[in-house]
Amino acid sequence: MNRLWWTQIKAVIRLEWKKTFFAKRGLWIYVVAAMPVALFIVYAVVTANQQHQSANIARQSQRAITRQEMLSIKPGMTREEVIAILGKPPGDFQWTETRPTGPKTTEPILREDFHYSDGLDNLYLGLENGKVQNINMQGMNNFGEDAILFAGVFQFFFLRLAIFFGCLGVFMNLFRGEVLDKSLHFYFLAPIRREVLMAGKFLAGLLATCTIFVTSEILQTVAFVGHFNPHVRDLYLYQYHGLEHAAIYVGVTILACIGYGAFFLVAGMLFRNPIIPAAAVLIWEGINPFLPAILKQFSVIYYLKSLCPVEIPVSPGTPGLFALLVSNADPISPPLAIGGILVVALIALFVSSVQVRRMEINYTTE
């Protein structure tokens, strides 16, 4: 790249970033990017409220309860055995139900719900006629579950929907939007190679999407760890690889913007209606797990899923097709995944550069 091209690319970026960041028709991208942040803020508020309630329950207990004591409760234990181990429950809810025993006969059932807490973990017990039937132990600081929750939101909402459609909105409009506004000739009348123009526009789009979605990703992490107390937060970030995961998620976000951005840049040149390529790519990405290995490589999500730091476990009983969607049956190593996504992006950019050279200004046919 010579110096003139770089100067021209910077000029294109300066012109484009304002349009991309402040375009009225791009406001929805901010909304989509903010949605997971809002979700994790709500999650943090709800969790903080639960922690407050647990602390109250723990305070109201007859004595201090340990986690081991709560774990020692087994199904079939009697009410008295439970009270002997954990004390009288601070939260106790009773009601009576009737159960039919014959055509015209019923029997009453006494049901009770006990709620214990050690201040961090909550134990919910369901008793039927004085015997333990259901046990539900919920940890307030279960890093494993929280990490899977975060990974689920990242993979199924942030990657597949927010970044996907955000990139569609930004990159499809880089050329298509100019054609619709009838202002593309402004660029085509400048002494600038079409490929350099395309590179400038792509980088401007990349700058915009990376800024929006990386900011969103960082805010999600901040909101996500917001409900931990400082000690637990440090534990999560430094001992349980929370910081490392956050950095990987940022990296995956950037790679997703590169991959989808290049895809939608070329789609914006080849198609007039963005719905067609968006639907096609969405379906292609969706059916990726079912594709032969060779075809999988021409997908962005294939590489991105391989890079995600937390694998979402497939629960027993999950339908086969859905299980395939959730799990990455054929993951590849991070260097190969990063290389693969860059190669896919380069192929898309090459097609774009051929296409941009062929473009004509003929607004009347649009």
Partner 1 sequence: MNDRIIFEDVSKFYGEILGVNRVNLSIPPGITGLVGPNGSGKTTLMNLMTGLVKPSRGRIQVLGIATDDPENLFKLVGYSTQFDAFPKGLTGFQFIYSYLCLTGMLQPDAERTAWQAIERVNLVDAASRKIAAYSKGMRQRVRLAQALAHNPKVLVLDEPLNGLDPLARSEMIAVFRASAAAGCYVIISSHILHEVDVISDQVILLSNGYVVAEGQIQSVRNEIQEHPTQILIRCDRPRDLAARLFQSEYMIEASIHKDERGVLLKTRDADRFYLAINQLALDGIQIESIAPADDDVLSVYEYLIGNEEVVR
Looking only at residues 163 through 182 of this chain, which bind partner 1 when binding is defined by CB under 8 A?
A: 181-182
Q: Of 168 and 192, which has the nearer Cβ to partner 1?
A: 192
252: which residues sit within 8 A by CB, 6+ positions away? 154, 159, 304, 307, 308
Query: Is there binding between residue 7 and partner 1 (CB under 8 A)?
Result: yes
Q: What is the full DSSP assignment across 26-86?
A: GHHHHHHHHHHHHHHHHHHHHHHHHHHHHHHHHHHSSS---HHHHHT--TT-BHHHHHHHH
Looking only at residues 227 through 286 of this chain, which bind partner 1 when binding is defined by CB under 8 A?
A: none
Looking only at residues 182 through 211 of this chain, which bind partner 1 when binding is defined by CB under 8 A?
A: 182-183, 185-194, 196
Instruction: Tell me if 64 sits within 8 A of 120, measured CB to CB.
Output: no
Min dist. Cβ of residue 6 to partner 1 (A):
9
Instruction: Tell me if 114 sits within 8 A of 94, measured CB to CB.
Output: no
Instruction: Tell me if 152 sits within 8 A of 312, measured CB to CB.
Output: yes
Per-residue contact string for residues 131-170; x = within reach of partner 1 by CB under 8 A? ----------------------------------------
Burial of 76 (0-12, 13-18, 19+ CB in 10 A): exposed
Q: Of 21 and 240, which has the nearer Cβ to partner 1?
A: 21
Gap between the Cα atoms of 82 and 74, Å rounded: 9
CA separation (Å) from 23 to 19, 27, 57, 301? 5, 7, 51, 28
Min dist. Cβ of residue 42 to partner 1 (A):
36
Which window, 13-21, 82-90, 93-101, 158-166, contacts partner 1 (CB under 8 A)?
13-21
Q: Of 17 and 124, which has the nearer Cβ to partner 1?
A: 17
Min dist. Cβ of residue 25 to partner 1 (A):
11
Instruction: Tell me if 353 sits within 8 A of 195, measured CB to CB.
Output: yes
Size of the residue set binding partner 1 (CB under 8 A) = 31
Q: Of 1 and 294, which has the nearer Cβ to partner 1?
A: 1
Residue 88 CB: number of other CB atoms within 10 A?
12
Q: Of 104 and 358, which has the nearer Cβ to partner 1?
A: 358
CB crowding 314-325: b at 16 or more within 10 Å, else e: eeeeeeeeeebb
Per-residue contact string for residues 335-364; x = within reach of partner 1 by CB under 8 A? ----------------------xx-xxxx-
Task: Name the DSSP class of 312.
Answer: P
Min dist. Cβ of residue 239 to partner 1 (A):
49
Q: Of 80 and 360, which has the nearer Cβ to partner 1?
A: 360
Which window, 16-24, 203-211, 224-232, 265-273, contacts partner 1 (CB under 8 A)?
16-24
Amino acid letter, 98: T
Footprint of partner 1 on this chain (CB under 8 A)?
4, 7-8, 11-12, 14-15, 18-19, 22, 181-183, 185-194, 196, 357-358, 360-363, 365
